[in-house]
Structure 1
C-alpha cells in the first residue's frame, strides 16, 4: 500500500520536500480518509506464548502458562472502540510473547479477529524491499551510490538519482499515487481511493507503467536536494532487484527472506486479489453521487503499489522478520547502520527516515530508539516496531470498517497510547 494512502503512517510525516510536501505516508493517510465503525466489539482474550530467542540469540524469559496482559488487552479494546472494525496485536518483551485481539472478523458477524490472521501490510513492504536491495549491495552486485540509470537505462532517469536516494526518498521523483504540496496543491496520480478506485480495484498495473506515469510529471526537487515520500522509489527498487538478479521480485523475496526465515504466512501476491489463510475483512467508505457507501475490499489487486506496498503477512511473521533484521541476521553491520541513519530533512509521527525504515526516539524514560515502518492500504493498516536489538517488538494489524472517524485525530492518539504501553511500560 502506499504510504500514502497508507497509514496514518502519517499524519506522519509532513514529509519534507524542497518546498513540496508529500501526502502523509502510510496508515495515516488512508485512515484519515476511510471511515470506520464503533462496533460493539467481541473480545478475544490475549494469550501468552512460549519464550523465544532474541535477535542476538539470547533467550527471552518464557511467559508463565496462561499469563494474561490485561493492560495490553485494554489498549487493543480502546483502539477498536475508537472506531476500527478490528485489531490484532503481538508483543514480545522481557515477560515473553503475548497476542490478543478485539473487534469482529466481518461487519455484521460475531466471529472475533484471529490472532494468527493474514493482512495486507502496505508500506511495511518497503522494509523488505530495502533489505533485498541492501543484500545485493553487500554482495557487490550494486552500489548504494550507483546511478539507477546504469541499471535501468530504459526509463531515461536523471543520472544523479542513486540507489540510496530511492531507498531514502530523496530522489525527487513524483509519487505515482499523487503528490501533495504545502500550499494545498494536489497533482493526482493513479486512483487509489473513492469510487474511481473501487471500480478499478481489480485492474492490473505493470510496474513500468507506474514509473512512466511518475516520470511524466515534474520532479518535486533536484535529486538529493530534499526529502519526500514517494512510492515510485520502491517500485523502481523492485525493478532494480529484478534487473540485477535476473529473477522476479517475488521469487527473490522468497529465496532470500521468506524461505530462510520460515515466513509461511507471508506472500508477495502480485496481481492475485485474495488473502490466503484466516483473515479479517477490510472495508472502504467513499462517496458516490453525494451518498456515503461502504464496500468490502478484502479482495483487491495490489499491483498498483508493487514493491512499495503489495505484501500480505501475519503478526508472527513480521515479528520474526523485523527481529532478524535488527539482530543482524539479514544484513552486515555496516549496511544495517546505514539503514538506521535517518535523513535530517525527514520526520513526523514515526520518526526520521533511513533506508527503508523510520528511526524514532521514545526518550530515556522509555526504550530510547525504536525502529519501525508502518503501512496501510484500503481496508488494512499494519504497525511494525522493534528496539535496535530486536528484543522488544510490537506488531499489529488494524482493519477498517464502516463508521466515519477523524483519522487525523484518532490514529495518532491511539498509536501514542500503544507505544507508551509497550515501550514505556517497563
Structure 2
C-alpha cells in the first residue's frame, strides 16, 4: 500500500494582510492543520473540508491522497456519500408537507400507511410521525440485520426486515437511533405526494436552494457522478483498506443514500437554519423538544426532528447531522450566526475516538473568529 502523506492545500500566510484577512487566514489554517493531522495520525487516506464564513464565502481544503493505488490528488470539494445527512433532507420534506397541511406530526403513521406497521410490540396506530423523525419510535434498526452481503433492496424489503424483530421500547419513552424510522418517513412522503422521495428531495430542496453537486442516486446506481476520493473500508483495525467506492446505496435509501459535497452541505444546513426551506413554525419544531443523543453523537449532543445539536467549545451550538457509510464519514453543520463547516474522510470510521477527532476539526473551524 502506498504511503499516505498529508498534502497541504490552500494554506494562507498572514503577512501583509489586513487584520480581518489575517484572522480569516488563521481560521482556515486551523482547518487545514486539522485535516493534516487526521491523515498523518489516524491513517485516513483522504480528508476534505469546507468552511463557510458569516458573509457566505466558502473555502475548501484537502489532505492526503484521493486514491491509494494511483496516488491521485484529492479532488477539491469532491463528492462523497454523505450517509445519514440524508435523514435531514428526508425530515425537511416531511416538515414541508406538515406546513402544507398534508401531514400532522402528532398523527399516527397508520393515518398515512394504514396496516403497514405491525409486529411484535409494534403497532403503527401508536407510533406518531414525530416519533419517527425524533428517533423515539422504538422500531428495531433493520441495518443491524442485513449481514455482510449487502444487495439491492426495495424500501418495503428494508421495513419487512425490521418488522421481523421485536420493538425496542414503547413509542415516545426513549431515544434510540434506527434507520427504520427514516425508511418509514420516506414511504410516507411517497404515499402522500404520489411521487418518489428522490423527486421530492430534488424539487423541494436541491433545486430550490441551488445545490449543484447533490443528488439522490437512482435505484441500483452504484457510481458517484463527479470527481471524488476513493472510499475505503477496513474489516478490522489492522486490515488493509479495501475499495468500496461503488456500492448499491439502496440498503440506506431515505436514511442514508445521498451524495453531496462539503460546500453543498454547508449551504444546506445554513439555509435550513435561516432561509425559507421551512416555514417558521416547522423550523422551530425541528429544533425544539430535542432529546439527549450522546450515545450516538457524542458529549452534549441532542436530537430534534432529523437535526442534531452539538455544543461548541467556544460557547453556543451548531446544528447538523453527520453520516457514516462504507467508504466515507462526514461531520459538520452550521450555526444560527451564519458560520458553517463540514468535514469528510474517505474511510468509514469504527473508532469513536477518531470520530471525535473529526468532530473537533469541525468545532475548531466554527470557533475560530
1:279 is the counterpart of 2:228: yes
Q: 1:45/1:345 Cα in 2 relative to 1: closer, same or farther (>3 Å)?
A: closer
Give the drift of 1:294: 4.0
Q: Distance in 1 between matches of 2:146 and 2:292?
A: 27
Q: Quick check: 239-248 or 345-354, which moved more?
A: 345-354
Q: Determine helix, strand or coil for the equivalent of 1:170.
A: coil
| Aligned with 2:305 (options 338, 355, 367) | 355
Q: Deviations over 1:69-112 (max 9, x none)?
A: 32221111001112111011011125843211001111133222
Post-superposition CA distance 1:327-378 (Å, at most 9, x none): 1320111111111124334334161100001112225xx1402112010111
Q: Could you tell which deviates more after superposition, 221-230 or 257-266? A: 257-266
Distance 2:364 2:240 in 1: 35
After TM superposition, list the pairs within 5 Å mapping 1:214-363 onto structure 2. 214-269=162-217, 270-286=219-235, 292=239, 294-348=241-295, 349=298, 351-362=301-312
- 2:138 touches 2:174 (CA, 8 Å); kept in 1? yes
Aligned to 2:16: none
Indicate yes or no: 2:34 matched with 1:75. yes
Shift of 1:315: 1.4
Count of residues paired in the alignment: 349
8 A contact 1:268–1:310 mirrored in 2: yes
In the superposition, the TM-score normalised over structure 2's length comes to: 0.88
Higher helix share: 2
Q: Which of 40, 61, 82 is matched with 2:4 structurally?
A: 40
1:425 maps to what in 2?
368
Question: How do 1:104-123 residues align onto structure 2 when only pairs under 5 Å count?
Answer: 104-123=65-84
Closer/same/farther in 2, CA of residues 246 and 285 from structure 1, 3 Å limit: same
Greater RCO between the two (CA within 8 Å, min separation 6)? 1
Q: Which runs of 5+ in 1 are unaligned?
A: 1-36, 49-61, 179-188
2:2 and 2:71 in contact (8 A); partners too = no
8 Å Cα contact 2:49-2:77 kept in structure 1: no
Give the conservation status (yes or no) of the 8 Å contact 1:382–1:398.
Answer: yes
TM-score for the superposition, normalised by structure 1: 0.77
CA contact (8 A) 1:347 1:353 kept: no
Unaligned runs of 5+ in 2: 13-19
Distance 2:31 2:281 in 1: 35
The match for 1:190 is 146
1:409 paired to 2:369: no
Return the offset for 1:261.
1.5
Query: Is the Cα contact below 8 Å between 2:60 and 2:263 reproduced in 1?
Result: no
Check 1:387–1:164 CA distance in 2 against 1; reply closer, same or farther (3 A cut): same
Asked whether the equivalents of residues 382 and 397 of structure 1 are also in contact (C-alpha less than 8 Å), the reply is: yes
Q: Measured at CA, do residues 281 and 342 of structure 1 come closer, stay the same or move farther in structure 2, by a change above 3 Å?
A: farther
